[in-house]
Structure 1
Amino acid sequence: MSKNTDLKENLMGDLAQPSSVFEHKPLGVEFNWKTAEEHGIAALPDMPSGIVLPRASQAGRNVQRASSAHCIGHTVLGDDHGFRVQGESGLEINHFYVLNTVKNIVKMQEQVRFYFGWDPKKQTQHIFDVFAVLDNDERIAFAIKPEIRLNSTNKEKQDFEEHMQAVAWWVFEKDFADDVRILTEADLDPVALHNAKVLAAVRERDSDADLAAINEVRKLPSGGGLSLRELTLAIGMGARGYRALIRLLRSGEARLQALGRIGPQAVIVNVAGSKMIDHMPDRPMLFAQPQPYQTAA
């Protein structure tokens, strides 16, 4: 047997043995197995086994790799393994999170190119930050810009407004979308953004936990609710059950009893067989409201 073969077998033997090198144990944290066993989670993995990468970004262009003026970012949205999205600012990424929670959006694409102009050989390009398709096939093109671009009194504001008016006119003229909207930081609600990030973080399905969560929620009377903490303890699957309960908020099987941040104390309500109360929070919906611009006489 060669020296290299001996070395390989020794390495494989070392990897096969339990070793503190391969144990995941955060510094300063001592796991209490007795407490875990009381909650029935000692023998359960924190996450389902197996890793599947998200689908690639469908952006019309890749954002630049670096900039001295702003940040760039990537995240994963959608359901289960999800899909990657990329943005040229933290503001864009935050709006992506919120749009991801809108229940009648069936498709979202970022960095979408739109060409317009009278001369077919010399088209002007505009990049829409997000293009969304609703479940009724209506299309909305979004431009995401800082509020200062709209409230400024300088020439930059005037140029931006004139540019967007021209872009919107051509969007309707070419039937590229049914509506054009501008989003700024003023359109971001801190609570909605927090909840949107929580929903995105628990997107991956976990069949056993999801089934246990829906069964536990359906034990509640129609319109009845309990806190996320109480329902998690009732499920007995620890963090897996907690995440599964939050997924029910996204799927519409449950809703928050009152407007607020998703957390252990938040009360979620069984909506099966009950009519939604108008003033109670639910995932928002978008409607396209085209307002065609007219050319100057």
Structure 2
Amino acid sequence: MASLYLKKSPMLDFHSSLTLPAPSRADRDVANASKGHCTAFAVLGEGAGIRVKAESHLEFCHLLLLNAREDVVDLREQVRFRHRRIEHVFDIVATLATGKTIGFTVKPEIRLLSGRFLEKMGLVTWHARKQDFVDEVRLLTEADIDPVDLHNAKILAAVRRPDPDAEHVARAVASGLVGGRSLQDLTVATGLHARGYRALLRLVRAGVLRTVRHEPITPKTLVCWKGDSE
């Protein structure tokens, strides 16, 4: 996901020489706090990243999951679609490496029981695709969240900043793998302690290393070498 969210140049903080995250590209503001539901503000993407905001914990979870997908190259949140009398704000719009765009609407399953929202989304989907606003529309609920994937997405989101020197060492250690080996063993082999562990997680994030089993990532997780995509 090396090219994620680089459409806007990030700001530079000249006092600390740190690159700050790019501003959110949301079309709609999200309240800083709400008595009725969770709101979330975070930095996702690669490197300095980009600020994102979500109107619910469920939305934020799906942002994390999409952020962790290797085929997603761009994410926008709170994206407004208007056509004549039709208006809808997509919670997330993702662009895939193929160029395909998918508009996601996030709703808890209980909000779908009456059928009114699904009827509305049928109309929105028809117009959004006809106007080439998105290629596809999908509805996401809590049923679409795998707890293991969410756990791992949170970990991988935390290692967005590159460390080229440490990653070079981690690649050299891991590239000779035959079969699986634990992240803990590989970390020891790098000789870089926590920095080496983080570099290995960066390789998992990039898809260069794969977990052997579908499980929450821990130091004991077995990984195997996949290598760079062609």
Aligned partners of 2:86 and 2:124 also within 8 Å:
no
Question: What letter corresponds to residue 148 of structure 2 in structure 1?
Answer: V
Question: Structure 1 residue 218: deviation in Å?
Answer: 1.3
Question: Structure 1 residue 231: deviation in Å?
Answer: 0.6
Q: Pick from 59, 70, 77 the counterpart of residue 37 of structure 2.
A: 70
- Cα deviation code 1:107-138 (max 9, x no counterpart): 11000000123xxxxx3321000011111211
Question: What letter corresponds to residue 123 of structure 2 in structure 1?
Answer: A
Correspondences of 1:61-140 after superposition (within 5 Å): 61-117=28-84, 123-140=85-102
In the TM superposition, structure 1's runs of 4+ consecutive aligned residues that sit over 3 Å from their partners are none
- Is residue 208 from structure 1 mapped to residue 165 from structure 2 by the alignment? yes
Structure 1 unpaired stretches of 5+ = 1-48, 118-122, 275-297
State TM-score, norm by structure 2: 0.88
The farther-off stretch of 55-64 and 258-267 is 55-64
Provide the identity percentage.
46
How many Å separate the matches in 1 of 2:228 and 2:160? Answer: 25
How many Å separate the matches in 2 of 1:189 and 1:183? Answer: 12
- Cα deviation code 1:87-119 (max 9, x no counterpart): 0001011100000111111111000000123xx
How many Å separate the matches in 2 of 1:133 and 1:174? Answer: 17
Match of 2:204 in 1: 249
Q: Secondary structure at the match of 1:264?
A: coil
Match of 1:188 in 2: 145
Match of 2:220 in 1: 265
Question: What letter corresponds to residue 89 of structure 2 in structure 1?
Answer: I
How many Å separate the matches in 2 of 1:65 and 1:250? Answer: 30
Question: Structure 1 residue 166: deviation in Å?
Answer: 1.2
Question: What letter corresponds to residue 136 of structure 1 in structure 2?
Answer: T
How many Å separate the matches in 1 of 2:130 and 2:208? Answer: 41
How many Å separate the matches in 2 of 1:239 and 1:102? Answer: 24
Larger Rg: 1
- Cα deviation code 1:34-74 (max 9, x no counterpart): xxxxxxxxxxxxxxx96322111111222123322211111
- RMSD over aligned CA atoms reads 1.8
How many Å separate the matches in 1 of 2:227 and 2:159? Answer: 22
Question: Structure 1 residue 273: deviation in Å?
Answer: 8.9
Q: Secondary structure at the match of 1:214?
A: helix
Question: What letter corresponds to residue 110 of structure 2 in structure 1?
Answer: I
How many Å separate the matches in 2 of 1:272 and 1:185? Answer: 33
- Is residue 219 from structure 1 mapped to residue 176 from structure 2 by the alignment? yes
Q: Secondary structure at the match of 1:66?
A: coil
Question: What letter corresponds to residue 188 of structure 1 in structure 2?
Answer: I
Q: Indicate the structure with greater strand content.
A: 2
Question: What letter corresponds to residue 87 of structure 1 in structure 2?
Answer: A
- Cα deviation code 1:223-249 (max 9, x no counterpart): x22101111111111111001001101
Aligned partners of 1:116 and 1:167 also within 8 Å:
no
- Is residue 166 from structure 1 mapped to residue 123 from structure 2 by the alignment? yes
How many Å separate the matches in 2 of 1:190 and 1:239? Answer: 25
Aligned partners of 1:142 and 1:180 also within 8 Å:
yes
Q: Pick from 162, 183, 199 the counterpart of residue 156 of structure 2.
A: 199
Q: Secondary structure at the match of 2:161?
A: coil
Structure 2 unpaired stretches of 5+ = 1-15
How many Å separate the matches in 1 of 2:53 and 2:228? Answer: 39
Match of 2:18 in 1: 51
